[in-house]
Structure 1
Amino acid sequence: MRILAIESSCDDTGAAVLDGPEQILSNIISSQFDVHARYGGIVPELASRCHIEAIWPVVQEALSAAGTSLDEIDLIAATRGPGLVGSLLVGFTFAKALALVRQIPCVGVDHMAGHLLSVFLEDNHPRFPYIALVVSGGNTSLFKVDNPTRFQRIGRTRDDAAGEAFDKVAKLLELGYPGGPVISDLARDGDPTAFAFPRAWLDEDSLDFSFSGLKTSVVNQVHRLKQKEVPLPVPDICASFQEAVVEVLVEKTIRAAKRYDCSTVVLGGGVASNPRLRSLMAERSDREDMKLFVPAPLFCTDNAAMIGLAGYHLFQAGHTVTPDTDAYSRSPLM
């Protein structure tokens, strides 16, 4: 089965062609980084307009790179939600219209499901069930994944997502947007013990996350240093902040694996590209005799290949959309 997949949940326009659930023939991503960087964050209206301009050229490029045409496409899969509604509507409406014209089935994929299954785009696969941490700019959640279409959310953020906290701290330190990569780079030269930023463990049995208090602590520390009129030790702040985020993410993921008697842990989402998160999760997994699976950075960030993979399994389970099926901004998985 040849699948055309489309992703437009936020600020990247993606299209991919898959031959079956795992063979990627092409995976094209058009970034809007230059459009939004000047504003220090994503402007929804601009994102929607950019998707409109990019959607057809990106799809054409994906088909060309795959050496195929629309005549050979058997299924269209597109992100239905969650995300920015304007952005979602561009890709999802395009997919439904194209499927209607070509008279082929179309499936609407939950973006979270894509991240939960993205590890299957790699050669080394986990076995079900497993515990998955999806951590990005918009989501920080823990799931128990029983099969390719059955996901149980067992933990979520109560306020800021981890990636959102990275972006806000980067903005505070005037490091630009997006904040995650630059904080990670600067943290390499910093001391993670320089500042005792708080870890929000919440209730004893809670698998939820909270990063609002940590963000406020960083803001207060920066203000105190500025009042003293001393140079900001930016690498130390970055390293200490990053360690506070990563430590909680790792420990709660390991705690979830133990609670649900799972010996396999999977990472997904843009923040899963963070080197410190990857290394500490690997250390803790190894110590607990658990197996860790992490996609390549390309498959951690938003991409259409993971949407095509999840869409294949939805179609096999009998789930398709009609022309009047709507997109949604909040995931039923959240």
Structure 2
Amino acid sequence: MVVLGIESSCDETAAALVTAERRILADTIFAQVAEHTPYGGVVPEIAARAHLDHLDATIAAAMHQAGLGFAELDAVAVTGGPGLIGGVIVGVMMGKAIALAHVKPLIAVNHLEGHALTARLTDDVAFPYLLLLVSGGHCQLLVVEGVGRYRRLGATIDDAAGEAFDKAAKLMGLGFPGGPAIAAAAERATEPWPDLPRPMKGRPDCNFSFSGLKTALRQRVEALRAADAFDDAVRANLAAGFQQAVVECLIDRTSRALDRARADHPTLNALVIAGGVAANRHLRAALQRLADGAGIALIAPPARLCTDNAAMIAWAGIERLALGESSGFDFAPRPRWPLDEQAPRLPGAGVKA
């Protein structure tokens, strides 16, 4: 079985071909970093236009890389949401066109499910497991009980962690994307800034918040600039302090969710991390210590498969197809599509929650 995956929910235009034997035959991505860097963040209209300009060539490159024609596909899987709706529409319409023209099943994939099931593509991890999904648009803790069976334990009530990194980097003049920029600056730190807050740390629930941390950072930067004391050394120390605060918040919340998940699922197999922020080596190291202390495996897919990509969409399509599922051609793109439909919507969940 070979499935074409298409991803266009944010600022990555991506296509991939994946087999049911977990082989990635092709994985192509057009990164829109240059388009959005001048603005310090993703601009939805620019992202949608870039998808229009580059998706066709990206898919063609993937097909060429795999050495396959459309007739040899078993299905087409495409991100149907959640995400920036302009980009999602571009991908869904392309997926429908290919599936219709070549008489193939269409699978509209929840972007979050793509992240949630990536560990099964890379490590064949068994259900159930706890997922920390942490990226520019998402920050959630979910128990993955099976394909289509997700229970949310916690989520952000305002910014996602990746969004907070982007905004903090812009505030400090470090560039875009913010996560790698802050990590690079933090490497030059001599003493991480000590007094930034850890929002929600110690709370009995498993939710996240990063707006207060971001506000505290802004206040420090403004005061330092007013005193003409904001130099490169201070910037590096602030970056390290901010990164440390985010990681500590993520670990505190994940530790609490892990206790809850294991209480309900004594056979819990692993702690899985996914999303772009999963590439942060300090977070990975802290999660490894948490997992080791809990006597559970940490599954961290390669960084390329943690950020938005089409291989995860193709794999989620394969998982759905194996259950005999497909989508109708009347499927409507969804700007919001929670994995756990029963979970209450949080105030700051946003369009990608």
Category of TM-score, reference length = shorter chain: over 0.9
Q: In structure 2, how many angstroms separate the alpha carbons of the residues matched to 1:18 and 1:289?
A: 32
Aligned to 2:226: 227
Aligned to 1:332: 338
Report matched runs for 1:258-277 at 5 Å.
Answer: 258-261=259-262, 262=268, 264-277=270-283
- Structure 2 counterpart of 1:24, one-letter code: I
Report matched runs for 1:58-73 at 5 Å.
Answer: 58-73=58-73
| Offset from partner CA, 1:73-115 (integer Å, 9 cap, x none) | 1100000001110100011111012111111100000000111
Shift in Å, 1:236: 0.6
- Structure 2 counterpart of 1:295, one-letter code: P
Aligned to 1:301: 307
Report matched runs for 1:42-121 at 5 Å.
Answer: 42-121=42-121
Residue-pair matches, total: 333
| Offset from partner CA, 1:275-301 (integer Å, 9 cap, x none) | 110011111211222210001000011
Q: Which deviates more from structure 2 when the two are superposed, residues 126-135 or residues 188-197? A: 188-197
Aligned to 2:196: 197
Aligned to 2:132: 133
Aligned 8 A contact 1:192 1:241 in 2: no
Q: In structure 2, how many angstroms separate the alpha carbons of the residues matched to 1:195 and 1:223?
A: 17
1:133 aligned counterpart, secondary structure: strand
Which TM-score applies when normalising by structure 2?
A: 0.91
2:326 aligned counterpart, secondary structure: coil
Q: In structure 2, how many angstroms separate the alpha carbons of the residues matched to 1:162 and 1:134?
A: 10
Aligned to 1:279: 285
1:204 aligned counterpart, secondary structure: coil
Aligned to 1:217: 216
Aligned 8 A contact 1:85 1:329 in 2: yes
Aligned 8 A contact 1:96 1:322 in 2: no
- Structure 2 counterpart of 1:117, one-letter code: L
User: What percentage of residue pairs aligned between the two structures are identical?
Assistant: 41
Distance change in 2, residues 1:140/1:302 (3 Å): same
Shift in Å, 1:204: 3.0
2:6 aligned counterpart, secondary structure: strand
- Structure 1 counterpart of 2:248, one-letter code: E
Q: In structure 1, how many angstroms separate the alpha carbons of the residues matched to 2:52 and 2:335?
A: 18
| Offset from partner CA, 1:295-319 (integer Å, 9 cap, x none) | 1000011100000111111222233
Aligned to 1:291: 297
Structure 1 residues without counterparts, runs of 5 or longer: none
Q: In structure 1, how many angstroms separate the alpha carbons of the residues matched to 2:201 and 2:193?
A: 24
Distance change in 2, residues 1:111/1:138 (3 Å): same
Distance change in 2, residues 1:169/1:320 (3 Å): same
Aligned 8 A contact 1:21 1:308 in 2: no
Structure 2 residues without counterparts, runs of 5 or longer: 263-267, 340-352
Report matched runs for 1:141-156 at 5 Å.
Answer: 141-156=140-155
Q: In structure 1, how many angstroms separate the alpha carbons of the residues matched to 2:167 and 2:116?
A: 25
Distance change in 2, residues 1:32/1:204 (3 Å): closer
1:146 aligned counterpart, secondary structure: strand
Aligned 8 A contact 1:21 1:309 in 2: no
Shift in Å, 1:193: 4.3
Distance change in 2, residues 1:74/1:192 (3 Å): farther
1:241 paired to 2:247: no
Q: Which deviates more from structure 2 when the two are superposed, residues 295-304 or residues 49-58? A: 49-58
Aligned 8 A contact 2:200 2:249 in 1: yes
Aligned 8 A contact 1:192 1:243 in 2: no
Aligned to 1:24: 24
Shift in Å, 1:60: 0.9
Aligned 8 A contact 2:125 2:269 in 1: no
Shift in Å, 1:189: 2.3
RMSD: 1.4
Q: In structure 2, how many angstroms separate the alpha carbons of the residues matched to 1:179 and 1:111?
A: 22
Q: In structure 2, how many angstroms separate the alpha carbons of the residues matched to 1:193 and 1:34?
A: 30
